[in-house]
Amino acid sequence: MTKLKVGVAGAGVFGNYHAQKAAASAKTDLVGVYDISLARANRIADQFGARGFDCYADFLAACDAIVIAVPAIWHETLAREAIEAHCHVLCEKPLALTGKAARFLADEAAARGRILQVGHQERFVAKAMGVLAIEETPLLIESVRAGPPAPDNRAGDVSVIWDLMIHDLDLAAMMLGNEFTGVTASGKRVHSKHLDEAKAQFTYASGGVARLTASRAASERQRTMHVVYPSGEIAIDFLTRKVDNTTPYEIKVDIAAELPDPLGAADEGFYAACLGLARSPVPAHGTVGAVAMAEAAEANALAKLDA
């Protein structure tokens, strides 16, 4: 099998993770790591016998496919240039910071016959647990995703909506649909110039409601989801692995055997799609809804905060 020449854009923590996956895969050769700092790029690239780049055009020319793991404000620009260079792209979430931009990137990749995948690994977790196999439309989705500030101010270039809530926005879009009928949101700045705490409520034509809370200024971690269906309710505490389930559907909380490495599963799915062996597990068009929700929630919250 011809191996896929893969490069990783971004020499931070997640860039290192993705470089490890590409270096270990039987489907790929890790050919390069790009960063605006050549020294940072080389620190990761040298571990795997790859080349460090600080010129993005040269990096793209060396690759069949790239993984974008840079700050979110640069996702759109780097993804667009990579698609124009005829590279396949796996972009960490969010794909872009506006729904219009996300849709453009998805359309452009499709028009050029390129794979554009987004790093929503939480989908793999929800699927393995059985949540995404439920055919009933939820009446209510409530989620809380909170934790203390990152010590290195990771993702401090964007609000907590794009940083943490985006995971649950994506799951809500999958379960309730991409087209919401209303949104109300609130938030506050705590330790950055962006929203560090946020709450958002979305309504849908089906009558369903999504209430989402995210914080990167909490004293301790919290990760819960509560879903109400016509047939019953499911409440999950992801940290304690406790599940209360009154629906007729089986929900598993211990998925280590089926999904030991969500990031690895996502990356392997991307490689396979690029090589024409399978369909992308998280195609870009299916992630535009979450971007549009995040954009609407942030605009609503900021309008109230700055009024």
Q: Are 219 and 197 in contact (CB under 8 A)?
A: no
**Does residue 284 fall inside a structural domain?**
no
**Does residue 86 fall inside a structural domain?**
yes
pLDDT value of position 253: 87
The whole model's pTM is what? 0.95
pLDDT value of position 307: 72
Q: Which helix (H) or strand (E) holds 216?
A: none
Integer CA distances (angstroms), 98 to 44, 144, 214, 215, 262, in order: 31, 23, 19, 21, 26
Same domain, 176 and 69: no
Along the chain (307 residues), what's the average pLDDT of each consecutive run of 10 residues? 92 96 98 98 98 98 98 97 98 98 98 98 95 95 95 79 97 93 96 95 95 96 97 96 96 91 97 98 97 98 88
**Does residue 244 fall inside a structural domain?**
yes
Same domain, 54 and 39: yes
DSSP E strands in the chain: the ranges are: 4-9, 28-34, 51-53, 65-68, 88-92, 116-119, 140-146, 180-188, 197-204, 209-215, 222-229, 232-237, 242-245
254: burial class by Cβ within 10 Å (0-12, 13-18, 19+)?
Answer: exposed
**Does residue 283 fall inside a structural domain?**
no
pLDDT value of position 82: 98
Tell me the pLDDT tens digit for each residue of 243-289: 999 999 999 988 989 999 999 999 999 999 999 999 999 999 999 99
> What's the CATH number where 184 sits?
3.30.360.10
Same domain, 97 and 241: no
Same domain, 107 and 248: no
Same domain, 186 and 249: yes
**Does residue 285 fall inside a structural domain?**
no
Same domain, 104 and 173: no
Same domain, 203 and 134: yes
pLDDT value of position 106: 98
Same domain, 169 and 298: yes
pLDDT value of position 1: 56
Same domain, 188 and 240: yes
Domain extent for 11: 4-120+262-278
> What's the CATH number where 71 sits?
3.40.50.720
| Structural domains of the chain, count | 2
pLDDT value of position 3: 95
